[in-house]
Structure 1
Amino acid sequence: MKVPVISRVGDSLTSRRSARIWAAAVFAVILVLFGALSSIQAPTRSASSLVEGSDSAQVTELLAANTSDSKSSALLVASRTDGHALSEADNTAIDKQAVALSQDAEVAAGRTMASKDQQAAMVPLTWDTVSDTADRQKLNEIRNWIQEHPIQGLSVQVTGATAFAVDITNAFAGADFTLLAVTVGIVAVLLILTYRSPVLWLIPLLVVAIADRSASLVANLLGNAFNLTFDSGVLSVLVFGTGTNYALLLISRYRDELQKNDDHRQALSKAWAASFEAILTSNLTVVLALLTLGLAVMEDTRGLGIVCAAGLLIAAIFVLFLLPPVLAMCGRKAFWPLIPRPGQESKKENFFGRAARAVMTRPGLNLAALAVLLMVLAGALTGTRIGLDQTQQFRTATESSSAMQTLAEHFPAGETQPITILAQGTAIQALRDEFSGVENVKRVGESTQLGTTQWQQVSVISAVDPSSAMAQDLVADLRDAAATESAGQVLIGGQSAEQLDSHQMHLRDLFVIAPLIMVICFVMLGWLTRSWRTALALGLVNLLSAAAAVGLGS
């Protein structure tokens, strides 16, 4: 009888001679990969939240191209540490500090502005823009100077777009290592609890660790070749999680086969052949689903999807073609002290066995109860808003978010970050009047010509926090008003508009990509089960479970 190809490959991976050859060949490829790609630097995360082609992106480009005075700015925010109103002495000290700062840090300090309740003051700071890197260095220089020159009884902080960018960068500093260390620790604990062996857990963990490093190198190569941005920490979590999952599937089947076969190599070969299709199907399902993220508009989403797809494919290759030879060379003793042998009495039914039996005794009742629970959790999605406000993007308070909160509490909310309107081919005064009647608009500024272009520039001051969801709704209302009133072209930009455009593109990506992922899951389940009815049932359960998980997370 002709032996299937999968069985022949399994025999080759686990035989006494071939296992060594497979292991040596894989390690040779790893050494070549490490040597060739180790010098490639990881791409940096996207520094801009602008959506290419959006109104807010066009406004930023037009302003940059038609403004000769290229300046970066920040806001110095001062308040008393005891929460009391600022005294005359405090205001004088703030003025003196602003003057000294402008001289020592080579920045231009504007007029000090106190809030109506006299509990906070702000000083605008500007400097010549050279590059994003130089702006961030200047911001750090300003902050360091303020720390070295404190004012007794006052809290002085710096906020603004550059300050937020610096705080986001600092928030990610060291995060990848921390995330990787926590992931490895969790995986190690799970493997030890699963195998109850001081030896066996090390084997899959080391294999997956090598796979993770290989995936990172390949991701760096792809990122630089195709200009992709991504979070390497997420990549490591996925590689460790899925790689460990595949290893558990293989080793669990291997342990069962060891209780039936005297030859551990034959047992491993059968286990590999039996689990190959499940691992391959699982892997390809997730890989294809991640590749659909390549259709995303958002750069970070697109880049993360592509490199994670490559990483998961690498994880499967290592588990399927490196782990078996290593296990074959280690033999049955790798399971010490609970070494499985043929003829051993089956252990007593564990918790999961009892739970499965309990579920199957009354399947209808259990199905109905769990379906109701999942639908209740999924119901939370109705009130979920994708994305976070600018001040909510940090787990703990940062200087920029704290200062922005102070500004929102004591100054008119929209004064710090006005909405920018660019219009041409329309009656600008009629447009200003229309905007003045929109809810949550506090003031509409005078129009000015943008450079030598036909564009007229107008600033709209909102009555709400510019980083809030209400500010995004205001931008949408302004765009609706412009579409109704204006016969020409009107572009609306600024921070609130950038956040709205980003939010809308995230929604667009969700509505385009989620159905594609559902189709992929259905097709792969149909391939694995050979039954469209079973695939449909499993797909519905998967969809409901995913909705419940996201709802619970929200």
Structure 2
Amino acid sequence: MKDTFLGKLARLVAGQKTKWITLAVWILLAGTLSAIWPSVNEMEKNNAANLDNNQPSVVADKLANKQFPNDGGVPALLVWNREKGLTDDDFSNLAKLTTYFTEHPVKGQELVPPLQSMPLPALKQQTSKDGTAFVLPFFFNKGTETVVMKSGVEEVQKQAKKIFGADPFAAKLGSDNITARVSGPAGISIDANGLFSNADVSLMIATVAIVLVLLLLIYRSPILAIIPLIAVGFAFGVTGPILGKMAEQDWITVDSQAISIMTVLLFGAGTDYCLFLISRFRQLLKQEKDKAKALASSVKDASGAIAMSGFTVVIALLVLLLARYGSVHRFAVPFSLSILVMGLASLTLVPALLAILGRASFFPVIPRTPEMEAERAKRKGKKPAVHANKPVGGWIGRTVTKRPWVIFIVTTLLLGGLAANSLRIQYTVDLLSSFPEDMPSREGFSVIADKFTPGELAPVKVMLDTQGKSVDLKGTFGSLPYISKVSEPIAGKDDANIYAVDLQFNVNPYSNEAMTHIPELREAAEKLLGDKGVSEPSDRVWISGQTATQYDTEASYDRDTRVIIPVVIGLIALLLLVYLRSVVAMVYLILTVVLSYFSALGLGWIVIHDIMGTTAIQGLIPLYAFVFLVALGEDYNIFLISSIWRKRNEMPLKDAIREGVTETGGVITSAGLILAGTFAVLATLPIQVLVQFGIVAAIGVLLDTFLVRPFLVPAITMLLGKAAFWPDVAWIKSKKANKAENI
């Protein structure tokens, strides 16, 4: 073996003595960092802003806080319902509840309506038309932490149970008993935080279980199944404290959603990298008696592809730093750092573990050379066992090289048809639709939408600088067909020329339909000011509220998608070009993965919409899926092409393709199944955005594993022939010189 850098790396981390040093370094590193730096879970910030300060809705919200500071804060809408009609006793108990919290305010409480001071007829006028529902707003101070609001709501539930003699928050909707649900901005925030916080432990357990089960089924070795999990555990043990320290220093912001997906990414991609090395080690153990030499050769052969694959994913994920939308931007550092650390573990810790365990890693199916098998059989007085050599992918390699045109046409048509279906996808930024139907905030909204006007859940505030001109705000906005209610105009605290009205839509304020009315509201307000002679009316209108926030959110999604996707493609293309030294290979590898991505969206829409009945997917799914699938999809292409590239110097290209597909078939199939399985775990969570992302990502990985990598990529390579390596002139000239090209 040549004394290459990778050869030196193998001896450095997995030598007779250094293997123990490598293991000790990882133990010391993980232990020390965990002891001196905070865990990333301790530094979660789940209420971090997603929109930057320049977004119109954010500017409007700041103006509203300044000019209309007594606006009630963040409302938790307590939705009370009794199907046979609310009774006088119900209103009496509600008055007792507001009396208690007027006298004993909870932390973060700003205002609770004094129902005890209102006559019974006045209270009944605020119920729904059928007298069965009543909404009691409970206001928290703006900026109150979600955990504080949750604690306050829990105290409300505790007191309500005492006052009503039963727990109305636990009663089933539609029953004869009085029921209560917490909805509105505070309720939605509490439910969202609860979903993600509860998901961490269950997600970790489910991910470990699926990886362990798949490894045991595929490799039938309990020791081998544990090795990748050990590597992932150490990688997480190092990554977590580093991220925690960075968050403590306010260099980054981490939230539950990022940590949840990071966990899946570590187990899925991390196990893949481990298997790339382990599979090569097992192959060489059947050819080389000396386990140290076999391990050194396996590191030499596999490390280049592992490093390139990991670096590709790291770079692609770092591009998320260009995102303006907060939750996407916050993904960049945790994801890229976790993959970087996992890559280092795969190249150092895993070889050390394999060096320590040797052939026992694969117990009870231990790989041995033919000579070792013969000696073992001789000692036992038996004939040497004859193992059928039928590697996974053998028939695929033969088929692809014999009928490349058929394979190319069939796979392209299939993937193209699925990709075309992606044009049918409907998107939404409706947060409520991502909740389970039995979530309290969603149930509360259902009661409001059924008994009241749905816009009551999240009104929008329109503010205008009238420059002292008299304007009919209530008449102007009240005449709009999509507005059900307009409040009385209020003058600003510091600027009496600024007036505000609260508007309620007659449709779901979280829906796409409501969002389309935001520019219409702005246009109506600007026209009103313009007709009154106000100068520059476009600079004197501000709209705040949840619907306006979602409108800006959708615009941010679109902007981030337009910026990030081209940059990711460009960087991955550059990395492939540097690694493969072939423009042609770079182009078709990129195109095949992009085709696979759109195919995953199309097939995912069939599952999510046509089978599961979901009307729209979350707007961030395409961007999430693109970054992960394109980066991770190239991993498999790189591993396959690396094998073909390595063999092309030893045999005709046709044989190199066949052997490359055969050699990598088993490990890529195993890795793909495990990665798809870990993403599929997300689909078991009660959070629709993660369910949808998990489904699309798992489908994309499976398409790469079973169509793109084994069939489409080698078929294209076969059809292009030596042109696939252009302009790798040195190789082409060498093949011409010795006339070894035989395609």
- TM-score when normalising by structure 1: 0.91
SS at match of 1:158: strand
Q: 1:104 to 1:238 in 2, by over 3 A?
A: same
Mapped to 2, the partners of 1:144 and 1:383 lie a distance apart of: 47
Asked whether 1:518 is paired with 2:569, we answer: yes
Is the CA contact 1:258–1:342 (under 8 Å) kept in the aligned structure 2?
yes
Query: Which residue of structure 2 aligns with residue 222 of structure 1?
Result: 246
Shift of 1:444: 4.0
Question: Using the alignment, how far apart are the partners of 1:351 and 1:482 within structure 2?
Answer: 67
Secondary structure at the aligned position of 1:395 is classed as coil
Alignment pair present for 1:374 and 2:398: no
Matches within 5 A, 1:104-115: 104-106=100-102, 107-110=112-115, 111-112=123-124, 113-115=126-128
Corresponding residue number in structure 1 for 2:4: 4
Tell me what 2:65 maps to: 64
* Aligned residue number for residue 33 of structure 1: 33
Matches within 5 A, 1:112-511: 112=124, 113-126=126-139, 131-132=144-145, 133-148=147-162, 149=164, 150=166, 153-225=177-249, 226-230=251-255, 231-343=258-370, 347-350=388-391, 352-425=393-466, 429=471, 435-436=477-478, 438-453=480-495, 454-482=497-525, 486=530, 487-488=536-537, 489-511=540-562
Contact 1:228/1:300 (8 A) holds in 2: no
Instruction: Quote the offset at 1:188 in angstroms.
Output: 0.9
> 2:76 corresponds to which letter in structure 1?
A
The amino acid of 1:57's aligned partner reads V
374 and 69 in structure 1: CA distance in 2 versus 1, 3 angstrom threshold: same
Cα deviation, residue 128, structure 1: 6.3
Q: Is the 8 A contact 1:522 1:539 kept in 2?
A: yes
- Give a deviation string over 1:457-477, Cα, whole Å, max 9, x none: 122221111121111111132
Structure 2 residue identity aligned to 1:393? S
- State how far apart, in whole Å, the 2-side matches of 1:194 and 1:530 are: 35
CA contact (8 A) 1:139 1:162 kept: no
CA root-mean-square deviation: 2.6
Deviations 1:501-521 (A, max 9, x none): 112112211111111111122
Q: Is the 8 A contact 2:39 2:240 kept in 1?
A: no
Report the Cα distance in structure 1 between the residues aligned to 2:474 and 2:410, rounded to whole angstroms: 57
State the 1:154 CA deviation.
2.2
Residues 473 and 501, structure 2, Cα contact 8 Å, conserved in 1: no
For 1:242 and 1:101, how far apart are their aligned partners in 2? 52
SS at match of 1:199: helix
- Aligned position for 2:678: none
**SS of aligned partner of 2:368:** coil
Checking the alignment, whether the CA contact within 8 Å between 1:462 and 1:471 is kept in structure 2 is yes
**Alpha-carbon shift at residue 324 of structure 1 (Å):** 0.5
Identical-pair percentage: 26
Residue identity opposite 2:19 in structure 1: A
Q: Secondary structure at the match of 1:429?
A: coil
Q: Distance in 2 between matches of 1:170 and 1:63?
A: 29
**Does residue 1:52 correspond to 2:53, yes or no?**
yes
Paired with 2:267 and 2:600, the residues of 1 have a C-alpha distance of 21
Deviation of 1:439 after TM superposition, in Å, equals 4.6
Contact kept? 1:374, 1:544, Cα under 8 Å: yes
Structure 1 Cα separation of the partners of residues 138 and 15 of structure 2: 71
Change beyond 3 A, Cα 1:359–1:395: farther
1:498 maps to a residue whose letter is: T
Structure-2 change in CA distance of 1:147 and 1:499 (3 Å): farther
Matched residue type, 1:248: L
Deviation at 1:222, TM superposition (A): 2.1
Distance (whole Å) between structure 2 residues aligned to residue 364 and residue 277 of structure 1: 31
Q: Deviations over 1:40-91 (max 9, x none)?
A: 73232235455432222122212222334363433232223xxx552xxx23
Maintained 8 Å contact 1:247/1:319: yes
Q: Distance in 2 between matches of 1:475 and 1:203?
A: 54
- What letter is aligned with 1:518? I
Instruction: Give 1:13 shift.
Output: 2.7
Structure 2 gaps, min length 5: 103-111, 116-122, 169-175, 374-385, 531-535, 606-743
Given that residues 290 and 308 in structure 1 are in contact (C-alpha distance below 8 angstroms), is that contact kept between their aligned partners in structure 2? Answer: yes
Residue aligning to 2:16: 16
Change (3 A) 1:532 1:220: same
Please give the alpha-carbon distance, in whole angstroms, between the structure 2 residues aligned to 1:483 and 1:371. Answer: 51
CA deviation map 1:133-187 (0-9, x unaligned): 5443222211233344247622222221111111112222331111111111111
How far apart are the structure 1 equivalents of 2:524 and 2:337?
46
Task: From the superposition, tell whether residues 411 and 43 of structure 1 become closer, same or farther in structure 2 (CA, over 3 Å).
Answer: same
* SS of residue paired to 1:105: helix
Residues 1:79 and 1:69: Cα distance change in structure 2 (over 3 Å): same
Equivalent in the alignment of 1:74: 76
The whole-number CA distance in structure 2 between the counterparts of 1:550 and 1:130 is 37
Q: Do the aligned partners of residues 28 and 477 (structure 1) sit closer, same or farther apart at CA in structure 2, a change above 3 Å counting? A: same
Task: Report the Cα distance in structure 1 between the residues aligned to 2:436 and 2:456, rounded to whole angstroms.
Answer: 26
Identify which range, 202-211 or 10-19, moves more after superposition: 10-19
Distance of aligned partners of 1:13 and 1:135 in 2 relative to their CA distance in 1, 3 Å threshold: closer
User: Which residue number in structure 1 is paired with residue 587 of structure 2?
Assistant: 536
Distance 1:361 1:91, change over 3 A: farther
Match among 76, 91, 96 for residue 92 of structure 2: 96
Preserved contact between residue 43 and residue 224 of structure 1 (Cα < 8 Å): no
Per-residue CA deviations over 1:256-291 (Å, capped at 9, x if unaligned) read 111111101100101001111101111111101111
**Mean Cα displacement is larger for which, 245-254 or 297-306?**
297-306
SS in 2 for 1:267: helix
Deviates more, 1:504-513 or 1:1-10: 1-10
**Structure 1 contact 378–547 (Cα < 8 Å) conserved:** yes
| 1:254 shift after superposition | 0.6
Aligned-partner Cα distance in 2 for 1:141–1:52: 34
Query: In the alignment, is the contact (CA less than 8 A) between 2:281 and 2:295 conserved in 1?
Result: yes
> C-alpha distance in 1, partners of 2:387/2:522?
70
Larger mean CA deviation between 39-48 and 299-308 belongs to: 39-48
Question: Matched residues in 2 for 1:120 and 1:253: separation?
Answer: 67
CA contact (8 A) 1:290 1:305 kept: yes
What is the alpha-carbon distance in structure 1 between the residues aligned to residue 30 and residue 503 of structure 2?
58
**Distance in 1 separating the partners of 2:521 and 2:72:** 27
Q: Which amino acid aligns with 1:12?
A: L
1:16 alignment partner, SS class: coil
CA distance in 2, matches of 1:526, 1:128: 55
Preserved CA contact (<8 Å) 2:247 2:253: yes
SS in 2 for 1:492: strand
Conserved in 2, the CA contact under 8 Å of 1:216 and 1:232? no
- Mean CA deviation greater in 105-114 or 542-551: 105-114
Question: Which amino acid in 2 is paired with 1:94?
Answer: D
How far did 1:436 drift? 4.9
3-state secondary structure, aligned to 1:261: coil
| Paired AA for residue 57 in structure 2 | S
- CA–CA distance in 1 between the matches of 2:64 and 2:135? 25
CA distance in 2, matches of 1:172, 1:266: 47
